[in-house]
Every structure is written in structure tokens, then in C-alpha cells.
Amino acid sequence: MKKFLIRVGVFGCAVAIAAACLAGGAYWMLSRASFKLPAGKHILVVGASRAECAVDDRIFASAVNVAQSACPYLYTYGVIRKFLEENEQLDTVIVSFHYSTLTENIDERWIFRESAMNYKIPLHLSLMDKEDLSLFSHRKLMLIKSVLNLPYRDVVRFILRGGKASYRELNIGRYLRLERDKLQEAIARREETSGERGLSIFQRDYLQKIAGLCKSRGAELILMTMPLYKPEVYGEMEKLNAYREAYLPDAKYMDYSAFPLADSCRGDIQHLNYKGAAVFSEYLRDHLSRDIALKYGTR
């Protein structure tokens, strides 16, 4: 019995120490990733899946798309902060802005649900500060588990590259080429959202923090609604405008929800597929500055 208990105890302690060392080493490694962008990239595109699928930064070459599906503004804030710190040439930050991502059900689904924590925290840990982590103070055990789940595959890649890896290896976001063409299926299955939904205070606070950050760094913040299928039906545009006026009255806003696209350009109601992304990205490349100038005067 004594032998068994000693062996189990020693084994447990050794594993705990090894796990802590591994996580510490991985964190150190990941926090050394370079976020430096090429000189021609001066626009940062961030947000969740709508932006992730809509902006092809190979076409819209002056932009870099680091949006990621199911990404709350909590993580977006850390991404923007890091990019602005390392890239003085960044003068514009485009933040995806849609009403369905501002409601309180997002808090559980995107921030506090264990699967969300387990996936997002390891990817963004090196970009988060104490204040960001304090949001999870009521879920300490899950936080520890998430921290231990750092992306070790990326660390291996870092090591193989002699520690000279960039943000791309961190998997914090990129343009996602969506192949699907399933608009009709999505329409057929869409469930009506019933009743009024409350607003997420976390999304609101972090969106306001993003606005403050951009202002302090001299970057122009543009809230952008990406193209949607029938925005008047599915976009909740009136609520979105009311929200913007209430919480972000000074931010510039570009509404492309009604951007004309064929149905074959849509992956589903909310997302563009690669055909739609190509058309929309070309448009942004050629006309975004003009559109902003037309709406807000000189840039």
C-alpha cells in the first residue's frame, strides 16, 4: 500500500511539474512571435466569421485579415493592441460589426463556455493581460485547464524555424476561403429568434476599449457590416444603428450589408463564400477610401 501511494504521489507531482514547465516554456516561446507586417499592409481587419470569410487579403492587398470565427471583442482587443504596437504603418482598423454578435447569448457561447475557453484562451493567451484574464476569475479551474492547453504544435513549429515564427503560426485569425454555396439550405433551416435579447456588456466594454485604443494610437477605427443576404430581414439593422449611436457615436461606420451579390456568392445567410469574398475584396480595394471620403469627408 505504502509503495503504491508513494509511487502515485511522486508520479502525480512529476506530471504536474512537467505540465507547468511545458506550459511556461510554450508561453515564453509564443509570446516571442513577430507581429511585424510588410510595409504595404496598413489596414487591419478583425472580428468574427463574417469578416473572416468576406475579406480576401490577397486581393485587398493593403489589408491584413486576422478575423476569426466566434471571436469576441475580448480577444480582438488583444490582437489589435499587439499589431498596433509592432506596426507603425497601420493607420486603419476595420472591425466587423453585426448585431447578432452583440447580444448577451454571445457571452456564454463565445467567452465562458468551456469549449470556447478551451479553444480561444490558448491561442490568445500571449496577447492577453491580467485585466483580460480577470474576466475568468469565477472559472479558475477551467482557466487553468485552458492555459495548460497551449498550442504545442505551434511551439514545435516555432522551434523548427529557430524561434523566428510570426503571428501566422499562432492561428489567431486569417482569411478563410469558404467553398460552400448553401444559402438556400440555410434559409430553409433558419430558426426565428424570438423575443428581445439583452446586450452583452463584455462585447460593449471591449468594443469601447478598442475605440479608445485606436484613438490613443492614432489609428482610424471603422466599424463595418459585411455583406448579408437580405439585411432588412436578417440583419437587425435598426437595432445595430441604435446600438452604435448609443455606445460608439464617434466611430466611423461603413454599412456594406446590402452590397449587391449573386446568391452563388454566399456561403449562407451571413457569410460570403470565396466567390463573394473575391468580388467584395476587389470592391474594398478599389473603393473603400472613396466611400469613406464620401460619407465622412476627407480621410
Partner 1 sequence: MLFNSIDFAIFLPIVFFLYWFICRGGAIQQNVLAVAASFVFYGWWDWRFLILMSITIACSWASGIWMTNVRERDREKKNPKRRARAVMVGNIVLNLLILGFFKYYNFFAQGFADAFTLFGKELNPTTLKIILPVGISFYTFQALSYSIDVYREKLQPTRNAVAFFAFVSFFPQLVAGPIERATNLLPQFYSKRVFDYAKASDGARQILWGLFKKMVVADNCALAVNRIFEEHYAVGGSDLVMGAALFAFQIYCDFSGYSDIAIGTARLFGIGLKKNFSFPYFSRDIAEFWRRWHISLTTWFRDYVYIPLGGSRGGRGQKIRNTFVIFLASGLWHGANWTFVVWGAYHALLFVPLLLLGRNRKYTDSVATGRKLPTLKEFAGIAMTFVLVTIGWIIFRARDMRQTIEYMAGMCDASLFSIPIHGRVACLYAVIFLVIEWLGRGQEYAIERLPVKRAGVRWVIYGAIALFIATSSGASEQFIYFQF
156 is a contact residue toward partner 1 (CB under 8 A): no
Q: How many chain residues bind partner 1 (CB under 8 A)?
A: 36
State yes or no: residue 108 binds partner 1 (CB under 8 A).
Answer: no
14 interacts with partner 1 by CB under 8 A: yes
The answer to the question of residue 72 lying near partner 1 (CB under 8 A) is no
Stretch that binds partner 1, among 73-81, 95-103, 111-119, 123-131 (CB under 8 A): 111-119
CB of 185 or CB of 282, closer to partner 1:
185
Residue type, 25: G
Q: d(Cα 67, Cα 284) in Å, to the nearest integer?
A: 16
Residue 135 makes CB contacts below 8 A (sequence gap 6+) with 74, 111, 202
| 129-148 residues near partner 1, rule: CB under 8 A | 141, 145, 148
Nearer Cβ to partner 1 (115/216): 115
Residue in 6, 11, 86, 262 binding partner 1, rule: CB under 8 A:
11
Q: What residues numbered 213-272 form the site for partner 1, per CB under 8 A?
A: 267-268
Considering only 139, 174, 182, 239, the residue that binds partner 1 (CB under 8 A) is 182
Choose the binding region for partner 1 from 17-25, 52-60, 102-110, 232-240 (rule: CB under 8 A): 17-25
Residue closer to partner 1 (CB basis): 19 or 201: 19
For partner 1, the closer of residues 175 and 243 by Cβ is 175
**19 near partner 1, rule: CB under 8 A:** yes
Q: HEC profile for 196-212?
A: CCCECHHHHHHHHHHHH
Q: Please tell me whether residue 13 binds partner 1 under the rule CB under 8 A.
A: no
CA separation, residue 95 to residues 5, 79, 134, 225 (Å): 55, 12, 24, 9
Binding stretches for partner 1 (CB under 8 A)? 1, 3-4, 7-8, 11, 14-16, 18-19, 22-23, 113-115, 117-119, 141, 145, 148-150, 152-153, 176, 179-180, 182, 185-186, 188-189, 267-268
